[in-house]
Every structure is written in C-alpha cells, then in structure tokens.
A = this chain, B = another copy of it.
Amino acid sequence: MKILVTGFDAFDGATINPAGEVVNQLPNTIAGVTVVKQIIPTIFAESGTVLHDAIVREQPDFLLNVGQAGGRFGITPERIAINLDDASRADNAGQQPRNQSIQSDGPDAYFTQLPVTEIVASIKALGIPSMVSTTAGTFVCNHVMYQAQFMRANEFPFIKAAGFIHIPFLPEQVTDQLSPSMALTDATKGITAAIQTIVTHHYDN
C-alpha cells in the first residue's frame, strides 16, 4: 500500500511553505504504508499536471495534499473541493484567475473520501488543535484538491481516498504579526496522525 503526500513551494512572497516543510519531515513509512512525497508548484496551470504525473508514476492507494492556510488556528482537514478558481493574489507564475471554473464539465464540488472527523479526533488526542473545515478557499489549494477528485473520478479509480489538509503558518513566518501559528514538530505530528487514521479507517471499513 502506498500514500502519495504532496506539499507546495513557497508563495505570496514567503521564503518557506509549512506544507513543504512538513512533507519533507514525514517518515518514509507510516502504519505500514509507503509514504511517497511530492512538492507541487503554487501555480494554477502547472499544479494539476505535476499531480497527474506523480499519480501515474506512483499509482498510490491514497492521496493527501497538504497546504498552508495562513490565519487558521489548527490543522484543518477539508470536507469539500469546489469547481472554482478565484485568486485574490497572483500565483507563482503571475496568473490570477477570477471566477473561473476548473473543469467546465465537472460537478460543482466533490466531497473528500478522507475520514475528516476521525482525523480531527486523532490530532486532538495528541494535544494539537484541529477542526474540520468546509472551505479550502478558491486559490491553488482548492484547485489541487478539486483536480485530484476529478482525476480520481475519471481516470484513477484505484485511489481509494483522496483529500486535503490545511496547516497554519509556522511561528517564524509571523514573528511580529497578530496571527496564529503552529510549531513544525506539532504540524508534522498532526499530519502523521492523519495518515495513520486514513490507513486505519480504510481497513476498519
């Protein structure tokens, strides 16, 4: 069994991306499942292709995309991806789509197959803040989550479950801001627990 876990490169003027940092910190095996890592560029037009190529190459059983959600207080698994790009700032290629569909023939939204309630419970059990989220926004994070679901539905039925988890800023990103943050060690523990829960939940159900 294999899980493909993706992070993003830095964007919006930042020099690091907590999601990329966390993915790099993950062990190569969690709960008996091989963890394959992939960094995705924070670019609308390329992110889907990079994800597609990684899925073709790795043929994973599970897919977990991790991204940064500045301003959030805890680790937030996303319930749903929506068929909309609407960027309030440019991506890393300087593109800023406004109010555009991601897939013209796709449904309005896809629910994740991840057990979001159980993931939150497993993270909170470690003393780390976590809440279910009902919006992944309309930037590259939601775009990737939607593309993953669209690919799973139309091309890659071997993916048993796919989904997205947002993590807060790292403390070093907000040293003089009134913004919540989470230590890298806690974010990494939380994502590791999430992966354990994804795998365990699959075998239990």
Q: Which residues of B contact A172 (CB under 8 A)?
A: 127-128
With A107-B108, A183-B183 in contact, is A134–B138 under 8 Å at CB?
yes
A83–B181 CA distance with the chains assembled, in angstroms:
31
Q: Are A79 and B73 closer than 8 Å at their CB atoms?
A: no
What band does the interface of chain A fall in when counting residues whose beta carbon is under 8 Å from B?
35 or more
Q: Are A129 and B174 closer than 8 Å at their CB atoms?
A: yes
Among B108, B124, B138, B179, contact of A73 (Cβ-Cβ < 8 Å): B179
Q: Which residues of B contact A108 (CB under 8 A)?
A: 80, 107-111
Contact flags (1/0) for A76-88 with B, using CB distance below 8 Å? 0001101110100
- Any chain B CB within 8 A of the CB of A176? yes
Closest to A127 in B: B172
- Any chain B CB within 8 A of the CB of A99? yes
- Any chain B CB within 8 A of the CB of A29? no
Q: Which residues of B contact A99 (CB under 8 A)?
A: 117
Q: Which residues of B contact A170 (CB under 8 A)?
A: 127
Q: Which residues of B contact A137 (CB under 8 A)?
A: 134
